[in-house]
Structure 1
Amino acid sequence: MAVRRLESRALDPVLDDRVLRELYPYPPALTRPYVRVNFVHSIDGAMTDGGKVASLATPADKALFFALRAVADAVLVGAGTVRAENYGPAGGSDEVRRWRAEHGLAPVPPVVVVSASARIEPDSRLVTAAQVAPVLVTAAAADTHTLEQAGVRVVRCAGPAVTSAELLAALADLGLHRVLCEGGPTLLGQLLDDDAVDELCVTTSPVTMGGQASRIAHSPNLAHRRMRRGHTLADDDGTLMVQWIRDRA
């Protein structure tokens, strides 16, 4: 793997894991959750192969995946993605934990799951292997007794759904301002609808898929949001990684 920063005139030197982290700081002195989203898709726009993203991941994409986790306060994900991908907790090497401590972050970021129905298995890897209790943001009437007994921290919203406003308020109340959303497409679609996405990091894997795979965002509404390009990174294998930032000015 030889990830480089692609500019208009030249290529930067190869970027290692630590430099990748330094390339993706969150804005300083945040007073609200800043939502960064990370997705990988194929050249022709497919985000899964047989329902999973693993076959699209490249070494460069994996390096960015872990770098973005390393700089976040929390990893945000929808319950459908947790089930489809057999999600485990966020972790990190001893070096990553030392780096996080040096930068004022907790050693391990919690995983925050969004599910109005609280459909998480209490014996899933996300729960049983967690070093930091996962957080479930769910609807008012959801049955969470078993999950709470298993150690899941539950935050309830006021009604039968989890709105973007309530989700962001819950993250703020937990002191989680540097948010990394890893999917899925329904959650991203909702956040885009509500203009709650501050940054979108999209990796294009150097493959085509065809078929009927879904896009990275699903929504019943059309939400046109103008974004500006941040970093563009490239690997020798053809992987492209583009950072898109919401220009709220």
Structure 2
Amino acid sequence: MNAAIDRLWPHPAAQIDDDTILATYEFPPGAWLRMNFVSSIDGAATRDGRSGGLGGDADRRVFELLRRQADVILVGAGTVRAEEYGAMRLQDDAVAWRLVRGMPEHPVFALVSGSLDLDPDSAVFTDAPRRPIIYTVGTAPLDRREALAAVADVVDTGVEALDPNAVRADLVSRGLLRVHSEGGPGLFGSFTAAGAVDEMCLTLASSLEAGNARRISHSAQAAPTDMDVAAVLKGERELLLRYVRSEA
């Protein structure tokens, strides 16, 4: 049974269904990049090293629904390893939803890795329903590049540092306009600093974590970015917040 979710703003409604949630988070026309994260009240991005430990049933419900709208799921390699990602395969109901709307059964999985520290024999690649993309830099090790090129498109988007806007441009050139990113903090920070983030979906978990967990966004430079509240939802023990960039 789905976790109960109420919409508090705009247009308050109790126990909204999946279609209403999807409409609340609908991508606008054109190219759009969304970040999706969970955080504790005191700002921790993880519990025991994983973000999955923070989110509850409502977070997991929205997490799965947001994926079904996307053309591509963008994730940093560190998050792929820490959260133990497998192949980017959606559940049967999500596949059916996409097919009715003329979309491919599954979104493309795009990974970001400057070092190419990824295992070409992992299920991320061997069980992929669509060929993944790996965004890297020109200085990445040649041997890893060659091994991964057998199972994914390996694309340079910078010489020593990855250019987030070059990543976006390449995705657009492939017709992958609706980008849903699941982090991690380094990727989020770099994309924010580059002005490449249009939307932020944040689950605020009802917990205090203390400890030394990182924030959801990290970069070498500050990049203040004004955001507007677009929606507020509530699960049993968490708030689900949608923000869009003020000038977007």
> TM-score, normalised to structure 2's length?
0.93
In structure 2, how many angstroms separate the alpha carbons of the residues matched to 1:164 and 1:82?
Answer: 18
The equivalent residue for 1:71 is 69
The equivalent residue for 1:6 is 8
Residue 73 of structure 2 aligns with an amino acid whose one-letter code is V
Q: How does 1:30-179 map to 2 (within 5 A)?
A: 30=30, 33-142=31-140, 143=142, 144-149=145-150, 151-179=151-179
Q: CA deviation at 1:158?
A: 4.7
Question: Which secondary structure state, in structure 2, belongs to the residue aligned with residue 192 of structure 1?
Answer: helix
Structure 2, unpaired ranges of 5+: none
Residue 53 of structure 1 aligns with an amino acid whose one-letter code is S
Residue 155 of structure 1 aligns with an amino acid whose one-letter code is V
Residue 245 of structure 1 aligns with an amino acid whose one-letter code is V
Question: Which secondary structure state, in structure 1, belongs to the residue aligned with residue 90 of structure 2?
Answer: coil
Cα offsets for 1:156-206 (capped at 9, x unmatched): 235222211211111112211100010010010011111110000000111
Identity of aligned residues (%): 37
In structure 2, how many angstroms separate the alpha carbons of the residues matched to 1:56 and 1:164?
Answer: 27
Question: Which secondary structure state, in structure 1, belongs to the residue aligned with residue 166 of structure 2?
Answer: helix
- Which runs of at least 4 in structure 1 moved beyond 4 Å after TM superposition? none
The equivalent residue for 2:209 is 209
Q: CA deviation at 1:141?
A: 4.0
Is 1:247 paired with 2:209?
no
Q: CA deviation at 1:133?
A: 1.6
In structure 2, how many angstroms separate the alpha carbons of the residues matched to 1:7 and 1:141?
Answer: 47
Q: How does 1:165-204 map to 2 (within 5 A)?
A: 165-204=165-204
In structure 1, how many angstroms separate the alpha carbons of the residues matched to 2:55 and 2:138?
Answer: 36
Contact (CA 8 Å) 1:86, 1:124: kept in 2 or not? no
Q: CA deviation at 1:128?
A: 2.2
Question: Which secondary structure state, in structure 2, belongs to the residue aligned with residue 99 of structure 1?
Answer: helix
In structure 2, how many angstroms separate the alpha carbons of the residues matched to 1:17 and 1:123?
Answer: 35
Structure 1, unpaired ranges of 5+: none
Cα offsets for 1:112-166 (capped at 9, x unmatched): 00112211111223112211121101112433111122x2122223522221121
Question: Which secondary structure state, in structure 1, belongs to the residue aligned with residue 9 of structure 2?
Answer: coil
Residue 126 of structure 1 aligns with an amino acid whose one-letter code is V
